């Protein structure tokens, strides 16, 4: 049965694309709709309302073939929504995931409307966590660090597009080496996959391995960050560090200090997703 509002030609193209993408995607119809809307230069909502005309654009088949080969949707359309913002993404940078919004949710719970004054995002990628935080709190300023020139260039583009460039600074660096604190909010989504763990084709074959893998057990970068992050954290601040769903105990042990209180926050799927750090005497919300 054809969806209401869609011309026959577009619906037929969508059904054929969805059948093809079912071999590589858990959401083949959604993928097809996103790609067709992108090829038409309209939103998915406008597509479903029949506002894309009758003709299937030539670019659509090329997009479908790229997706069928495993390429992530975000790289094909060049953007990904995250929190309240839309970020430009491209090959060479980690694609923002909804699970990472757990860190921003924790920060909102901790700071409320007042927000942090100074924000640090270690491993910022395309500016994901820093720009989401700055968009949430208009008075905040922040610094994003990444080892990738490609990621930093994209982060600066995103800051400019979002009108946040005056409050966001991006620097090349090796995690927190050479940084001076304190920071009210420290955000970090480090690599946490073991080098021998299996990942999906769209991840392993397309996203940058240096943003994914962290040694045999996936903990190499946490071992570095555990020494770097606490000295940079303000007395009433919060550090939110993303973890793999089975890493709560191991990462907590690495960050454990007598004066630090640790808590684990779960994502919307109920999986352990972030380790939260604060100095003892302060309370998590």
Spans of the chain below 70 pLDDT: 1-4, 282-285
All CATH 3.40.50.150 domain ranges of the chain, comma separated, are 79-279
Task: Kindly report the backbone phi and psi dihedral angles of residue 227, in degrees, each rounded to the nearest multiple of 5, phi listed first.
Answer: -90, -25
CATH fold group of domain 79-279: Rossmann fold (3.40.50)
Domain with CATH 1.10.8 in the chain: 8-69
Q: Kindly list the distances between the CA atom of residue 53 and the CA atoms of 6, 39, 40, 217, in Å, as whole numbers in the listed order.
A: 9, 12, 9, 51
pLDDT value at residue 105: 98
Would you state the pLDDT for residue 1?
39
What CATH number matches the domain at 8-69, 3.30.2130, 1.10.8, 1.10.3210, 1.10.10? 1.10.8
**E strands present in 22-117:** 79-82, 85-88
What is the pLDDT, as a whole number, of residue 3? 46
Q: Please report the pLDDT score of residue 202 as a whole number.
A: 86
The pLDDT value recorded for residue 200 is: 86
Paired strand residues for 120: 143, 186
């Amino acid at each position: 049965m054809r969806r209401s509002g869609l011309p026959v030609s577009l619906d037929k193209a969508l059904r054929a694309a969805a059948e093809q993408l079912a071999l590589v995607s858990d959401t083949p119809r959604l993928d097809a709709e996103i790609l067709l809307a992108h090829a038409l230069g309209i939103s998915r909502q406008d597509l479903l309302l029949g506002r894309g005309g009758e003709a299937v654009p030539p670019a659509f088949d090329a997009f479908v073939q790229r997706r069928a080969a495993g390429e992530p949707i975000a790289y094909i359309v060049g953007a990904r929504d995250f929190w309240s913002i839309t970020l430009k993404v491209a090959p060479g940078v980690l694609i923002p995931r909804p699970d990472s919004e757990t860190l921003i949710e924790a920060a909102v719970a901790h700071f409320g409307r007042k927000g942090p004054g100074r924000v640090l995002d270690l491993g910022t990628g395309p500016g994901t966590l820093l720009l989401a935080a700055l968009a949430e709190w208009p008075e905040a300023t922040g610094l994003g660090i990444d080892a990738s020139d490609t990621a930093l260039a994209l982060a600066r583009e995103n800051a400019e597009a979002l009108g946040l460039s005056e409050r966001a600074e991006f620097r090349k660096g090796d995690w927190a080496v050479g940084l001076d604190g304190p920071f009210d909010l420290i955000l970090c989504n480090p690599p946490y996959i073991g080098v021998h763990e299996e990942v999906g084709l769209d991840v392993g074959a397309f996203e940058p391995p240096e943003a994914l893998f962290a040694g045999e057990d996936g903990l190499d970068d946490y071992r570095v960050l555990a020494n770097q992050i606490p000295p940079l954290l303000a007395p009433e601040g919060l550090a939110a560090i993303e973890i793999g769903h089975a890493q709560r105990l191991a990462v907590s042990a690495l960050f454990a200090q007598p004066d630090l209180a640790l808590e684990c926050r779960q994502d919307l799927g109920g999986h352990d997703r972030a380790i939260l750090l604060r100095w003892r005497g302060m309370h998590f919300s």
